Amino acid sequence: MKTESRGRWALRNGVLDPLTAVLAALGLCVGAGCTADRPPPHELRIALAIDPASLSPLLAFAQNQIATDLLFCQTLVGLDARDRIVPVLVMRVPSRANGDISADGRRITYHLRTDARFADGVPLTSADVAFTYRAIFDPRNNAASVDAYRRIASLTTPDPHTVVIRLRQPWNAAVNVLFAQADFAYGILPKHAFSDTMVSGSAWDRAPFGTGPFRVRSWTRGGSIVLVPNPYFVPAPKLTRITLQIIPNVTSALFALQTHAVDVATLGPQNLAQAQQLPGIRIVRIAENGLGAIYFQTQRAPTDDVRVRRALEQALDLPAMSRVWRNAYPLASGFLPPPLVRWRAAPLAGYRFDPAGAARGLDAAGWHLHGALRVKDGSPMSLLYAVDADDPLQAPLGLIVQSQLARVGVRTTLKAYPSAFFSAPAGPLRSGRFSLVFAQFIGGSDPEQSINLVCAQARNGGESYSRYCSQRFEAIFRDQMSAGTDARRERDFDALQSQARSDVPVIPLYDEIYLEGVDARVTGYRRNMLRFPVAPEAWDAR
């Protein structure tokens, strides 16, 4: 799962600040009453909130960057609009039922499609899958994550259209994760386009292509990425051109949508109401496999004490916090987001706002009021709340948390960090330099990838932000990996959610909804719960 920033907002006292000059610099329409010329039919323009350093799938970390890569570089399996695992470059999704997964769960056989071609006309073969596997481990490529692929004992290619993976141990999530639309989506690379497994910095990296419905025609750093159809893709894409206009500012992106300079733009709670008033613009809401949550640092005093965490939870009024995101997202109804409802336990007991109970809990943990502050062994309780300075939700949410905890005698200091550092491996989120922190993350196609509370994930700037390590939790997590039946795996996820609810390493705040404004000229436009494109060959624009 990945932390997602909401992007910068160019709004100061209700007036667009000079960041709107981004539009002018990009040649887009700027000014009151301005309306850009409509493009020809079958050309789609999408506001892209990131300025990627690379278009290699191996380096893609942000959700929207992965989505961009999937337009031209396909995975073996994917997700449809109903979030079901579907074949993409294989004839069928491997399973025990069809014999492509062995009885012991250690061998997976993929039967590649015989009609798939790269955008230069070269047929896809098993050698391309093997090449991609080797490239993932080439240290020169600095792949975003290799952990899942370390679970592979061997990858062999008995013939040009067969790939056999042998796992080190049974792993239920393997088909959903390996070469799949998952937490990281490593599409299959064209072996013939490289001299060796060094992908980063290659000629291909500057104008990438794969087996997807589109290929990159041009890429202007900081400006735009232009995609055109893969002439060998079947069925032929309806669009003749996709322009990904890089606008790393949500307010400017909305302005571009309003003036018809782009057809699609990501929205946030702060501009949703404004977008709803725009004529000819429809609002697309996608229930994501994502949560917004508050994490406690469980390895450092005072939040290493579960009694303190439970008390602080009772001191927080979650419904009052919802005004920060303007009720655009529903309060979290469980540990796993709604798209994973089949794996969710019956609704857990809600987080209860009870300041009196919080006071009793802090007293029981040895933190007693001395004047206005809680003190233990002569030292006042003082918490550090780390804030992503570029996320418009974070500072307002932090101020509410600070105010609510002050009412029970807890001092909280807010410390802001630039977004790029906030979530970097050495930044506060991943290094654990906080007492509590808000983070929004997106999981993968398997429920296992929506759990970032495993102890191993806390190492080396990993994604267990709370540094939570529970032997019972770890044992249950290991069991779900190899459970022989879905029913047993479902019971394991129930137990994981109950354990986390009791130990409170994290407080889920809301279920993530991905919001986009889409011009009425656009048809067939769909994404799945990971924001990834669904059947982009069927997208069109009148």
CA proximity to 246, closest of 216, 226, 222, 217: 222
Query: Could you tell me which CATH class the domain 289-513 is placed in?
Result: alpha beta
Count CB-CB contacts under 10 A for residue 77. 24
Alpha carbon of residue 257 to chain centroid: 24
Query: On the CB side of 270, how many CA atoms lie within 13 Å of its CA?
Result: 20
Structure tokens at 238: 């309806």
Q: How many whole angstroms separate alpha carbon 454 and alpha carbon 450?
A: 11
Largest CA distance in the chain: 76
Query: On the CB side of 48, how many CA atoms lie within 13 Å of its CA?
Result: 27
Helix (H) or strand (E) holding 346: none
**Residue range 61-67: mean pLDDT, rounded:** 89
Are 367 and 376 contacting, i.e. CB atoms less than 8 angstroms apart?
yes
- Does residue 509 carry a pLDDT above 70? yes
Cis peptide before 231 (omega within 30 of 0): no
Q: What is the pLDDT of residue 390?
A: 85
* 420: three-class secondary structure by DSSP: helix
- Does residue 53 carry a pLDDT above 90? no
Q: What is the pLDDT of residue 8?
A: 52
Two domains, one topology: 73-201 and 289-513: no
The amino acid at residue 26 is L
Give the tens place of pLDDT for each residue, 168-210: 999 999 999 999 999 899 999 999 999 999 998 899 988 999 9
**Residue range 300-326: mean pLDDT, rounded:** 96
Rg (CA), the chain: 24
- CA-to-CA separations, 142 to 57, 60, 70, 201, in angstroms, rounded: 11, 11, 19, 11
Q: What is the pLDDT of residue 33?
A: 55
Give the tens place of pLDDT for each residue, 253-287: 999 999 999 999 999 999 999 999 999 999 999 99
Q: What is the pLDDT of residue 423?
A: 85
Q: What is the pLDDT of residue 29?
A: 57
The band of 31, judged by pLDDT with boundaries at 50, 70 and 90, is low
- CA-to-CA separations, 501 to 310, 457, 506, in angstroms, rounded: 10, 19, 8
Give the tens place of pLDDT for each residue, 315-374: 999 999 999 999 999 998 778 888 988 887 666 666 789 999 999 999 999 999 999 999
- Does residue 13 carry a pLDDT above 90? no
CA proximity to 537, closest of 227, 93, 264: 227
| Tokens 């300041």, residue located | 355
Query: Could you tell me which CATH class the domain 73-201 is placed in?
Result: alpha beta
Map out the domains of the chain as residue ranges.
73-201, 289-513
Structure tokens at 184: 């990281």
pLDDT, averaged across the chain: 91
**Residue range 378-403: mean pLDDT, rounded:** 95
